[in-house]
Amino acid sequence: METTDIIIKIVLVVIIFAISLVIAMYSTYAERKVAAFFQDRVGPNRAGPWGILQPLADGGKMFLKEEIIPSSASGILFIVGPSLAILTACIGSAVIPWGQKLTIGSTVIDLQVTDINVGILYIFGVVSLGVYGIMIGGWASNNKYSLLGAIRAASQNISYEISMGLSIIALLLVTGSLSLREIAEQQHGFWADGWFTWNVFKQPLGFLIFIVCAFAETNRTPFDLPECETELVGGYHTEYSSMKLGFYLFAEYINMFISSAVMATLYFGGYNFPFMDMINSPNLVTILGVVFLFGKIFMFIFFFMWIRWTIPRFRYDQLMNLGWKGLIPLAIANIVITGVVITFLN
Partner 1 sequence: MESLSNKKKVLEVKPLNFMERIYLPAILKGLSITIKHFFRKPVTVRYPEQKREFSENFRGMHSLKRDEEGRERCTACGLCALSCPAEAITMTAAERQKGEEHLYREEKYAAVYEINMLRCIFCGLCEEACPKEAIYLDGDIVPSDMLRKDFIYGKDKLVEAPLNQ
List residues near partner 1 by CB under 8 A.
Answer: 34, 36-42, 45, 306-307, 309-311, 322, 326
Closest CA to 244 of 140, 124, 123: 140
Looking at residue 19, its amino acid is I
CA distance 327 to 205: 10
Identity of the residue, 43 or 289, whose beta carbon is nearer to partner 1 in the bound complex: 43
Under a CB-based contact definition with an 8 Å cutoff, are residues 249 and 74 in contact?
Answer: no
Under a CB-based contact definition with an 8 Å cutoff, are residues 154 and 130 in contact?
Answer: no
Residues 6 or more apart whose CB falls under 8 angstroms from that of 221 comprise 215, 307, 308, 311, 312, 313
Identity of the residue, 41 or 61, whose beta carbon is nearer to partner 1 in the bound complex: 41
Q: How far is the CB of 129 from partner 1 (least distance, A)?
A: 30
Identity of the residue, 196 or 309, whose beta carbon is nearer to partner 1 in the bound complex: 309
Identity of the residue, 40 or 193, whose beta carbon is nearer to partner 1 in the bound complex: 40
Identity of the residue, 121 or 307, whose beta carbon is nearer to partner 1 in the bound complex: 307
Under a CB-based contact definition with an 8 Å cutoff, are residues 187 and 197 in contact?
Answer: yes
CB neighbours (10 Å) of residue 248? 23
Q: How far is the CB of 263 from partner 1 (least distance, A)?
A: 17
Q: How far is the CB of 269 from partner 1 (least distance, A)?
A: 23
Identity of the residue, 200 or 285, whose beta carbon is nearer to partner 1 in the bound complex: 200
Residues in the chain: 346
Pairing of strands 107-110, 101-104: antiparallel
Q: How far is the CB of 156 from partner 1 (least distance, A)?
A: 17
Q: How far is the CB of 73 from partner 1 (least distance, A)?
A: 39
Q: Is 39 exposed, middle or buried (0-12, 13-18, 19+ CB in 10 A)?
A: exposed
Q: What residues form DSSP beta bridges with 69? A: none
Closest CA to 270 of 298, 253, 285, 289: 289
Identity of the residue, 2 or 40, whose beta carbon is nearer to partner 1 in the bound complex: 40
Q: How far is the CB of 40 from partner 1 (least distance, A)?
A: 5
Closest CA to 170 of 218, 123, 138, 202: 202
Looking at residue 114, its amino acid is T
Identity of the residue, 37 or 63, whose beta carbon is nearer to partner 1 in the bound complex: 37
Cis, bond preceding 282 (omega within 30 deg of 0): no
Q: How far is the CB of 42 from partner 1 (least distance, A)?
A: 5
Q: How far is the CB of 45 from partner 1 (least distance, A)?
A: 7
